[in-house]
Amino acid sequence: MPRLIIDEREIEVPPGTKVIDAAERLGILIPRFCYHEGLGAVGACRMCAVQFVEGPVKGLQMSCMVDAQDGMVVSTSHEEAVEFRRFIIECLMLNHPHDCPVCDEGGQCLLQDETVSGGHGLRRYQGKKRTYRDQYLGELIAHEMNRCIHCYRCSRFYQEFSGYRDLGPLQIANRVFYGRFKDGPLESPFSGNLVDICPTGVYTDKPSRYKARRWDLQRTPSVCIHCSLGCNTVANARYREVVRVEARFSGEVNGHFICDRGRFGFPYTNLPGRPRTARTAGGECSQGEAVAAAAEKLREISSTFGPQAVACFGSSRNSLETQCMLKRICRLQGWQVPGFFVDPALERRVRAAVSLLDASAGVSMREVERADCVVAAGVDPVNEAPMLALAMRQAFRRGAEILVADPRPIFLPFPFIHVPVSMERMDSFLEGLARLAGESSDGTGVREADLLSQIVQNGGLASSDLPLPVSFCRALFGSQNPVVLCGTECVRESTLPAAAALARDLRKGRDRAGLLYVLPGANAFGAGLLNSQGHPGFSRLLESVESGSVRALIVTESDPLNDFCHRDRLLGTLGKLDLLVVMDFLDSETARMAHVFLPTTTHFESGSCFVNHEGRLQYAEAVHHGGIPIEQAGGGSHPPRVYRGDIPGEGPKAAWVILAELGRTLGIPDRDLLGLGPWSLIGEEIPSLKRLEGTVFPPEGIRILSDGDPVQWVQGPEARDGEDDRGAVPPGDFFEILLTHWTFGTEELSSRSGPLQKVEKEPYGMMHSDDARVLGFSEGDRIVLSLEGGQIRFRLSVADRMGRGVLVLPRHRKLAWRNIPEMPCFVPRDRIRREDS
Amino acid sequence: MLSDALKETLRGKIAQGEHPREHAVDVMLEIQKRCGYMSDEAMEEAATLLGMSPLELEELATFYDHIYREPVGKYVIRVCDSAVCWMHGHLSVVDHLTSLLGIGMGETTPDGLFTVLPVCCLGYCDRAPAMMINQRIFGQLTPEKIDRVIRRLREEASFDEAE
Ligand code: SF4
Ligand code: SF4
Ligand code: FES
């Protein structure tokens, strides 16, 4: 390990460390613009010059371009280096418009910092400044090119790192311009990172423009809850309003970046319509009164019909504390075991995924970046878990081969092999892949062709659907560090063990072969952990309500009416309840039906734990106290000048605290509830987490997967009892409907974001162009799908690279997908027709 | 809109390379030869042919001096402004040309005949000051020589027009 001296202090760093990073380890921040740890070094700006006094490199050099080596003696304050940097910053400032007072970057601007640190305090240049015409880059990012210092960070992030192709450097020399071919919204769903990485104010966060200076903001480390990856963020609040979300570095999870869903998805917490007051049948009341009313009714139902007449329902957006408290109360009261998913099949898949992961197989996104071969089955990364696509791209940039097996049309920002296997044949495809990879091992290659045709047959594919698979199988076999990715949203339950088996087979003869499941929701993992036994499934729950054996339902931060397919049935069923208690921070449809409603806080207001897809327990700190945003309280002007002792709208409490209060009112001693404190609560409910009690919470979270324990530590779903053995394609001419997520517009929380609503696409359905031809449809046709539950109308888009016999529909609020009776759903072809025919 | 025939030619050219984008600059020069300059539509169509995004092609187009993203005159006059020509009176060449044509540097005459642009070194230093008009180079420029050249080109243009 190289040892060197920087500014008279010695340090030892891993080989390959740049001098600029070695200095940073000593707490010396060498000025820089183009260098960014996530993007690497290019030496474009010349700002990081230091003097190499002794050792293998001599003289003035760029510290971002030189690897630390033994014997180096470096001075950052050498006269020559200081003079050089002063000159560079003066040059970079020649054309700067000096508009810091109206620039949102001001106060968090590297250019301001380096101008000061470089000692450039007097302007000597009197000439005309270069000016640019700014572009319209969409609703998320503002563009002010006059502030640019030509460091190339933006285009390197946009094109090299993330693989999108509509923003880059134009022109030459002094005229270099960073932008698009024409004005128009940026195509990348990662565009918000430009705001973070641009060292000046060229790209600023448009929705939060002119709202606050950095130093006016309350800032805390938070976690994104818009998908299961759990990217690390910084939440920023001011005047009782979350103003902005930024990426926070995490070595294991998201690296330096986040996606735009995570950055711009937060406004649900500020919405004017957000419920802040408790309600009972008699109208608005205090939290205490509402809790008392709920408790009274619950006691009555329990004593008349037995405690099993009370059921609870949570969701995968619940914090872990809430999930644990829900489970605890249900147990202590003898109520039904709580459920977290409206789709019983999805619930089983989540449990299967959680039970199949262990520390030796589960991988983080960082490990995906280092994979040299990736097989993705039934997962659409950009739409389901956007940052996973960027992790895969980093693997691709390091030379990994990537194959995606999925009947949906899949876009990824890099070349990959797409095999449109149907969901039904996915398992046999994965098995075939494992065998083929094994077969290639003996070097005979003779059976490859055989196996290949088997895979084609088993996978229900046309041979034209299989580009380069043999070469891929060789790559898979030759890989040192392969990773299997698997979705849970659209796949069959059996695909989860099939993916795990492929990873296990690949692990033979290798140190490592990773497995990553993309789960449905920020805390789906937590739901899976708590869900190991006893929950009957949402459909059974509905049946019990319909038959009258369940009379009361407590819905905690969950909106079944949003998630459940068969909407009319659910509306009817909820209407039958004697008591519907809803706790939520959303003004949801379910909440509006509640007999007792209790408003809750968001994770921006109450610190909460979430367990991400790889079983990493992460803590999101509260960023502010909550309450009605001052802008709303004052109608945009000064807030009302009335004296009061509380904060307007501070009524909501964390759902788990409300649950505990409900429990206490029902007679559970407090030492078993709030008295436990969050950590003991979690440890009590999830025995495998007991060992974590008292742990100091590390910044990178706690990986809770058991270490190489061969015994499954969480119970998977029990074997099916035959009757709900669904998922087999019925014989005849049917389309399978795949309900999918889109990056923007389908996820429950972020689809309430005003800025993202301006970005999302109008929903459309997709089918294979061959299928469309047979049905006589073409691109853009208006299609009606007639189901028992009602009709679904949508515009059709056709594609060649997708599976046949599937119809892909987004779970978009503007599309009546809730008319689908249940999933999986197969429809005969004659139920699909063009609107005019 | 590129004509189908031109597109066919371009496709042939592109097919010769290992990667389509290898021929990006050639394709733009070819289009320019036929159409005079690269319009936005031409950029987009060429990008499609090359399997590039319009932005990627624009990065190249705006980097190279000889790709025109705006209409230029029939004759593009490039006056060398590198060191040797500058020592030999490049500024008076520019003065003379621009007053003769009645346009500034970078502009095109209203009749669409001439555009004046700077260029840095034509490799004609031994005969400085120099300028290049379309593919032809003229050295040892004097006001008289410039007048002659421009007159000839005007005649040539009106001859082309008439025929
Ligand atoms: S726009 Fe920002 S990131 Fe891009 S080159 Fe200019 S200063 Fe750098
Ligand atoms: S990838 Fe998922 S967790 Fe990460 S920022 Fe985007 S939505 Fe949030
Ligand atoms: S940071 Fe080293 S040259 Fe830009």
Q: Which of A227-236, A470-479, B56-65 has the lowest mean pLDDT?
A: A470-479
Instruction: Say if residue A822 is in the same domain as residue A761.
Output: yes
Contact state of A171 with B40 under an 8 Å Cβ cutoff:
no
Distance from CA of B39 to the nearest CA of A (A): 12
Q: Using 50, 70 and 90 to split pLDDT, how confident is the model at A537?
A: confident
Query: Looking at residue A376, which CATH number applies to its domain?
Result: 3.40.228.10
pLDDT in tens, B103-117: 999 999 999 999 999
A44 lines ligand 3 (CB under 6 A): yes
- As a residue count, chain A comes to 837
Picking from B52, B53, B59, the nearest residue to A169 by CB comes out as B59
Asked if A167 reaches chain B (Cβ–Cβ under 8 Å), the answer is yes
Domain match, A560 and A685 both: yes
Residues A194 and A321 in one domain: no
Edge-to-edge strand order for the sheet containing A232-238?
A: A218-223, A232-238, A241-247
Closest-CA residue, ligand 1 atom 6, reads A148
Q: Would you call A167 exposed, middle or buried from its count of C-beta atoms within 10 A (0-12, 13-18, 19+)? A: buried
**What are the tokens at A661?**
């209060």
Give the chain B residue whose CA is nearest to the CA of A178. Answer: B59
Give exposure, A355-380, as e/b (b: 16+ Cβ within 10 Å). Answer: bbbbebbbbbbbbbbbbbbbbbbbbb
**Structure tokens, A468:** 């380069």
Nearest-atom number in ligand 3 for the CA of A48 is 2
Which of A519, A573, A536 shows the shortest CA–CA distance to A724?
A536
Range of lowest pLDDT (A47-56, A109-118, A775-784, A828-837): A828-837
In degrees rounded to 5, what are phi and psi of residue A406?
Answer: -170, 135
pLDDT bucket at A683, cuts 50 / 70 / 90: confident
CATH number of the domain that A81 lies in? Answer: 3.10.20.740
Ligand nearest to the CA of A197: 1
Nearest CA to ligand 1 atom 7: A148
Which of A175, A176, A181 to mutate against chain B (most B CBs within 10 Å)? A181
- The whole-angstrom distance between residue A299's C-alpha and the CA centroid of its chain comes to 40
From CA A382, how far away is CA A412, in angstroms rounded?
Answer: 7
Instruction: State how far the Cα of A680 lies from the Cα of A531, in Å rounded to an integer.
Output: 19
Establish if A77 belongs to a structural domain.
Answer: yes
Give the separation between CA A480 and CA A392, rounded to whole angstroms: 16
Same domain as A676, residue A573: yes
- Closest chain B residue to A180 measured between Cα atoms? B55
pLDDT at residue A723 in the model:
39
Establish whether residue A202 lines the binding site of ligand 1, counting it when its CB lies within 6 angstroms of any ligand atom.
Answer: yes
Query: In the prediction, which pLDDT does A447 show?
Result: 57
Amino acid present at A347: E
Distance, in Å, from the CA atom of A287 to the CA atom of A267, rounded to the nearest integer, reads 24
- Residue type (1 letter), A86: R
Rg (CA), chain B: 18
Q: Which residue has the tokens 């309600």?
A: A279
My answer on whether A355 and A408 are in the same domain is yes
Do A182 and A141 sit in the same domain of this protein? yes
Strand partners, A204: A142
Helix (H) or strand (E) holding A588: none
Query: Does ligand 1 come within 6 angstroms of the Cβ of A154?
Result: yes
User: Do A529 and A673 belong to one domain?
Assistant: yes
> What's the pLDDT tens digit per position in A553-600?
999 999 999 989 888 899 999 999 999 999 999 999 999 999 999 999
Would you say residue A471 lies in a domain?
yes
Q: What is the dihedral of CA A767, A826, A388, A209, to 10 degrees?
A: 70
- Give the span between the Cα atoms of A108 and A215, in whole angstroms: 8
List C-alpha distances in Å: A97 to A128, A131, A176, A598: 11, 9, 16, 52
Does residue A608 lie within any of the structural domains? Answer: no
- Tell me: do A502 and A428 sit in the same domain: yes
Pocket of ligand 3 contains residue A48 by CB under 6 Å: yes
> Would you say residue A811 has pLDDT above 80?
yes
Instruction: Please compute Rg for chain A using Cα positions.
Output: 28
pLDDT of A710: 38
Q: Are A237 and A604 in contact (CB under 8 A)?
A: yes
Q: Enter the tokens of residue A91.
A: 């040059």
**Alpha helices of A165-266 — where are they, by DSSP H?**
193-197, 260-264
Q: Which residues of B touch A180 (CB under 8 A)?
A: 55
Which chain B residue's Cα is nearest to A182?
B55
pLDDT at position A440 = 55
A362 has which bridge partners?
A: A515
What is the tens place of the pLDDT at every residue in A424-460? 889 888 888 887 766 655 444 445 566 666 666 665 6
> Do residue A295 and residue A261 come from a single domain?
no
Locate the ligand 1 atom nearest the alpha carbon of residue A197 and give its number. 3
CA distance A338 to A310: 10
Say what the pLDDT of residue A210 is: 94
* Phi-psi group of A152: left, alpha or beta (phi > 0 → left; psi -120 to 50 → alpha; rest → beta): left
Choose among A473, A465, A448, A374: nearest CA to A770: A465
Confidence of residue A676 (pLDDT cuts 50, 70, 90): confident
Q: Where a domain ends, among A481, A502, A519?
A: A519
**A510 CB contacts (<8 Å, ≥6 apart)?**
A479, A480, A481, A482
Ligand nearest to the CA of A95: 1
The answer, yes or no, to whether residue B61 has pLDDT greater than 50, is yes
Give the tens place of pLDDT for each residue, A138-166.
999 999 999 999 999 999 999 999 999 99
Q: Tokens for A279, please give them.
A: 């309600």
Query: Is the confidence at residue A542, as pLDDT, over 70?
Result: yes
Q: Is residue A547 one of the residues assigned to a domain? A: yes
Q: What is the DSSP letter of A640?
A: P
The domains of chain B, with CATH numbers, are 4-63 (1.10.10), 75-162 (3.40.30.10)
Instruction: Assign A713 a pLDDT band (cuts: 50, 70, 90).
Output: low
CATH number at residue A775: 2.40.40.20
Residue at which a domain ends, from A246, A269, A292: A269
Specify the 3-state DSSP secondary structure of A609: strand
**What pLDDT, on the 0 to 100 scale, is given for residue A439?**
64
Q: Residue A610: CB within 6 Å of ligand 3?
A: no
Cβ separation B55–A166 shorter than 8 A: yes
Give distance in angstroms: CA of A3 to centre of ligand 1. Answer: 34
Tell me whether residue A624 is in a domain.
no
Helix (H, G, I), strand (E, B) or coil at B27: helix
Ligand 1 atom closest to A169 (CA): 5
**pLDDT level of residue A402 (50, 70, 90 thresholds):** very high
Contact criterion met (CB below 8 Å) for B107 and B117: no
Among candidate residues B62, B150, B66, the one with its CA nearest the CA of residue B113: B150
What phi, psi does A438 have (nearest 5°)? Answer: -65, -40
The answer to whether the Cβ–Cβ distance between B59 and A167 falls below 8 Å is no
Q: How many helices (H) and strands (E) in chain B?
A: 7, 4
Residue A181 to residue B62, Cβ atoms within 8 A: no
What pLDDT score does A318 carry? 97
> Looking at per-residue confidence, does A693 or B149 come out higher?
B149
For residue A731, pLDDT beyond 50: yes
Nearest 5°: CA angle at A161, between A69 and A619? 90
CB contact under 8 Å between B55 and A172, yes or no, is no
| Per-residue model confidence (pLDDT) at position A475 | 85
Do the Cβ atoms of B93 and B118 come closer than 8 Å? no
Sheet of A59-62, strand order: A9-12, A3-6, A73-75, A49-54, A59-62
Asked if residue A303 is part of any domain, the answer here is yes
Atom of ligand 3 nearest to the CA of A30: 1
One domain, residues A455 and A542? no
Q: Mean pLDDT for chain A?
A: 91
Given a contact cutoff of 8 angstroms between Cβ atoms, the answer to whether A456 and A485 are in contact is: no
Which amino acid type is present at position A395? A
Report how many domains make up chain A: 5
Residue A461 has pLDDT above 70, yes or no: no
Query: Which atom of ligand 1 is nearest the CA belonging to A147?
Result: 7
In a shared domain, residues A453 and A539 = no
DSSP A300: H
Selecting from A165, A171, A172 the residue whose C-beta is nearest the C-beta of B53 gives: A165
3-state secondary structure A715-772: CCCCCCCCCCCCCCCCCCCEEEEEEECCCCCCCCCHHHCHHHHHHCCCCEEEEEHHHH
How many interface pairs between A and B have CB atoms less than 8 angstroms apart? Answer: 29
Q: How many helices (H) and strands (E) does chain A have?
A: 26, 33
Q: Ligand 1 pocket test: which of A94, A134, A151, A186 has the largest number of ligand atoms within 8 Å of its C-beta?
A: A151
pLDDT category of residue A533 using cuts at 50, 70 and 90 = low
Is residue A280 pLDDT above 70, yes or no? yes
Judged against a pLDDT cut of 50, whether residue A722 lies above it is answered with no
Q: With an 8 Å Cβ cutoff, is A535 touching chain B?
A: no
* Phi/psi-derived region of residue A230, left when phi > 0, alpha when psi is between -120 and 50, beta in every other case: left
Cβ separation B62–A170 shorter than 8 A: yes
Phi, psi (rounded to 5 degrees) for A311: -125, 155
How many angstroms is it from A228 CA to the middle of ligand 2? 7
**Residue in A167, A171, A172 nearest the CB of B55:** A167
**Residue A417 within any structural domain of the chain:** yes
Asked if B54 lies within 8 A of A167 by C-beta distance, the reply is no
Q: Of A165, A172, A182, which is closest to B56 when you measure between CB atoms?
A: A165
Long-range contacts of A768-775 (CB under 8 A, 24+ apart): A768/A798, A768/A799, A768/A800, A768/A802, A768/A803, A768/A804, A768/A805, A768/A806, A769/A798, A769/A799, A769/A800, A770/A804, A771/A735, A771/A804, A771/A805, A772/A796, A772/A798, A775/A829, A775/A832
Tell me: the pLDDT tens digits for A616-652? 999 999 999 999 999 999 888 888 888 988 888 888 9
Pair A213, A287 in one domain: no
Q: Which residue's alpha carbon is at the smallest distance from atom 8 of ligand 1?
A: A151
Q: Which domain holds residue A158?
A: 132-269
pLDDT at B146 over 80: yes
Of A392-406, A467-481, A606-620, B35-49, the range with the lowest mean pLDDT is: A467-481
Which ligand 3 atom sits closest to the C-alpha of A63? Answer: 2
Q: Is residue A111 included in any domain, yes or no?
A: no
Any chain B CB within 8 A of the CB of A169?
Answer: yes
Type of residue numbered A482: P
Question: Of A92, A118, A142, which closes a domain?
Answer: A92
Burial class (CB in 10 A: 0-12, 13-18, 19+), A117: middle
The pLDDT, as a whole number, for residue A732 is 67
Cβ proximity of A542 and A569 under 8 Å: yes
